[in-house]
Amino acid sequence: MPSSYKLSYTKTDADLLNTLKSPSKGYWIALFILSIGLLIGAYGWGSQIYYGMGMSGKNNPVGWALYITTFVFWVGIAHSGTLISAILFLFRVRWRAPVYRSAEAVTVFALMVAGLFPLIHLGRPWVFYWMLPIPQMGEMFPNFKSPLVWDLFAVFTYLTVSSTFFILGMMPDVAILRDKFKGWKKKVYGLLALGWRGTDQQWRHYTAAYVFLAALATPLVISVHSIVSWDFAMSVVPGWHDTIFAPYFVAGAIHSGLAMVILLLIPMRKWFALKEYITDHHLASLAKLMIFTAFVVGFAYVIEFFMAWYGGDIYKRDVFLFRAFGTYWWSFWGLFLFNFILPMLFWSHKYRTSTFWLIFVSVGVSIGMWLERFVIIITSLSHEFNPFAWGFHELTITEVYIIIGSFSLFFFLFLVFSKILPVVSNWEVKEVIEPPRKK
């Protein structure tokens, strides 16, 4: 525990309440801009439902494009939260305490946004529930052979577990809020606190349940992204049909998750004056971890190429050559630059402690990871088996609208969350600081 922590129980309580005070002008402006973004997204989706999937830039070979790219991207982002809250919890990393709450929020919100994309990309979104395991249309169940059904289950499981984890983790803190507020707010927080009294018995059960949930959430990081990767790997599409996909996707998800965590922590500690909780040391630790994940994804990129050559399959070989030198060459080299080369800056202490470079690299990695999915999905589909059917995706404004909408929704939810719920876990911070003693 670094000595820089000079906190007291009262101070943490006050800080917690401070974050929930009436928001600043900047907050309202941000919220307003995000609402416009949301409306743009809603308009995009609305028009797509009304006119048809033709509003997006897809075509015959490229049946999946930016929506699925963005879906996988958000699922990847979601892993940041679980990574920090559950895995670091199980490993008893002490500095996790102040940051994990927002990380969990990232998980939940990113999953909510991600969950929209499979609906957005459906040709007939109004019958999406046919994918759910409820008997409809003559007792028909979904096709459990389809990776899309597995995917649905995986994402929903993940959403359920992480939401539970999120809500449960907040209970003691929300109880503080319940106690501090009056009127309707008290009632709402009271509801969320689920009758938390802070008794010993409750604490005992609570901590046990918490470990249990953390242990449950951790394998989900692996399983969810493995299953998402199977959406691709289970197909016959050259460039998708690879056994490396599951670990490759998980590593990628963690990579992008780390970047997103850094991107969220830096403004948060500034806005909420949490410098004492989230120190440069923490960020530097994340940056170091990122070097590691960069190597993992970098290795995956190289090994994919190696296998494409070594495997001797002409279709796969051509897809990889197409990736590197074809129409979308920029996306391929872009992902290499952003995901692998850029994080190498963090070898230097100077870069990993500089806020600017942290943000710069994290934005780069986020873009890079989005590009990675773009490369996987679009270049493979564009250059499949039948050369006569090759074709390219063409960006449309509707897709841009919807992607703007998705980012707006994510940040909108986060912003709203930051003003109504405790962004920092008070009780766990208290755990790591000196308890107040009678003088």
Partner 1 sequence: MEIKRRDFVKLLGAASVATALPGCTRQQPRNLIPYVIPHEEIQPGKAVWYASVCRECPAGCGVHVRVRDGRAVKVEGNPVHPVSEGKLCSRGHAALQGLYNPDRIQQPRRKRDGRWERIDWDDVQELIADKIKELIDEGRSDSIAFINSHQTGSLDALIEEFLNTVGSTRRINYEPFGYEGVKKASDTVFNVEKIPNYKFSEARYIISFGSDFLETWMSPVKHAREFGQTRELENNRMVPFLHVGPRLSMTATNADEFIKVKPGQEYLLALGMVHTIVHENLTRGIARAQINHIRAVVEDYFPREIENRTGISFEKVEKLARTFAAANPGVAVAGNPSLDGTNNALTVAAVHLLNYVCGNIGRTVLFEQTDHLERVDSYATLNRFVRSMEQGDVSLLFIYDSNPSFTMPEVSGFNAALERVDLKIALSSYFDETSAQADIILPVNSPLESWGDYEPSNGVYGLMQPSMKPVFNTRMAGDILLSLKAKINNGDNDTSFYDYVKERWREHHQRFAPDADFEEFWVGSLANGGRFTDTQTISFQLNTGLAKQALEELKDSDPSTRDGFQLVTYPSLNHYDGRGANRPWLQEVPDPMTQMTWENWVEIHPEDAEQLGVRNGHKIEVRSSYGVIELPAYVYEGIQPGVVAIPVGQGHTEYGRYAENNGANPLQLLSASPTDTTGSIRWSGLEVSVINKREPLRIANVAGSDYQNERPFLQVVSVEELIRNSNREPKKEYPQIYDPHEYPEHRWGMTIDLNKCIGCSACVTACYSENNIPVVGKEDVRRGRELSWIQIQRFFDAREDATNGRFLPMLCQHCTAAPCEPVCPVFAAYHTPEGLNAQVYNRCIGTRYCSNNCPYKVRRFNWWDYDFPSPLNWQLNPDVTVRTKGVMEKCTFCVQRITGARQEARLEGREIRDGDVVPACQQTCPTDAIVFGDLKDPESRVNQLRERNKPRGYRVLHELNTQPAVVYLQDVVEETVDN
Question: Contact positions toward partner 1, by CB under 8 A?
Answer: 51-54, 57-64, 118, 121-125, 127-128, 130-131, 137, 140, 142-143, 145-149, 152, 231, 234-237, 314-315, 318, 381, 384-392, 394
CB of 241 to partner 1, least distance (A): 10
Is the Cβ of residue 145 or residue 437 nearer to partner 1 in the bound state? 145
**For the chain, what is the largest distance between any 2 Cα atoms, rounded to a whole number of angstroms?**
83
Ramachandran angles phi, psi of 236, nearest 5°: -95, 0
223 or 235: CB nearest partner 1: 235
- Give 396 or 408: the residue with its C-beta nearer to partner 1: 396
Q: Which is nearer to partner 1, 57 or 334 (CB)?
A: 57
State which amino acid sits at residue 250: V
Report the C-alpha gap between 363 and 24 in whole angstroms. Answer: 26
CB atoms within 10 A of CB 321: 14
Kindly state the smallest distance separating residue 243's Cβ from partner 1, in Å: 16
Q: Which residues contact 43 (CB under 8 A, 6 or more apart)?
A: 401
Q: Based on CB atoms, which residue is closest to partner 1, 96 or 393?
A: 393
Min dist. Cβ of residue 148 to partner 1 (A): 4
135 conformational bin, left if phi > 0, alpha if psi -120 to 50, beta if neither = beta
> By C-beta, is 387 or 435 nearer to partner 1?
387
Asked if residues 172 and 196 have their Cβ atoms less than 8 Å apart, the reply is yes
Give start and end residues of each alpha helix (H) in 234-279. Answer: 245-271
Nearer to partner 1, 104 or 318 (CB): 318
Dist. CA 249–CA 255, nearest whole Å: 10
* Least distance between partner 1 and beta carbon 437 (Å): 60
Per the CB < 8 A criterion, the answer to whether 79 and 254 are in contact is: yes
- Nearer to partner 1 by C-beta: 190 or 391? 391
Q: How far is the CB of 114 from partner 1 (least distance, A)?
A: 16
- Quick one: tokens of 405? 């909408």
What amino acid occupies position 147?
A: P
From the CB of 325, what's the least distance to partner 1, in Å? 14
- Smallest separation (angstroms) from partner 1 to the CB of 319: 11
Between 235 and 355, whose beta carbon lies closer to partner 1? 235
| CA-closest candidate to residue 207, choices 252, 172, 258 | 172
**Min separation Cβ 330 and partner 1, Å:** 19
Residues 324-361: b if buried by 16+ CB within 10 A, e if exposed: eebebeebbbbbbebbbebbebbeeeebbebeebbeeb
Residue 370 CB-density burial (10 A; 0-12 exposed, 13-18 middle, 19+ buried): buried
Q: How far is the CB of 246 from partner 1 (least distance, A)?
A: 17
- The gap between the terminal CA atoms of the chain, to the nearest Å, is 23
Dihedral of CA atoms 274, 280, 281, 284 in degrees, nearest 10, equals 130
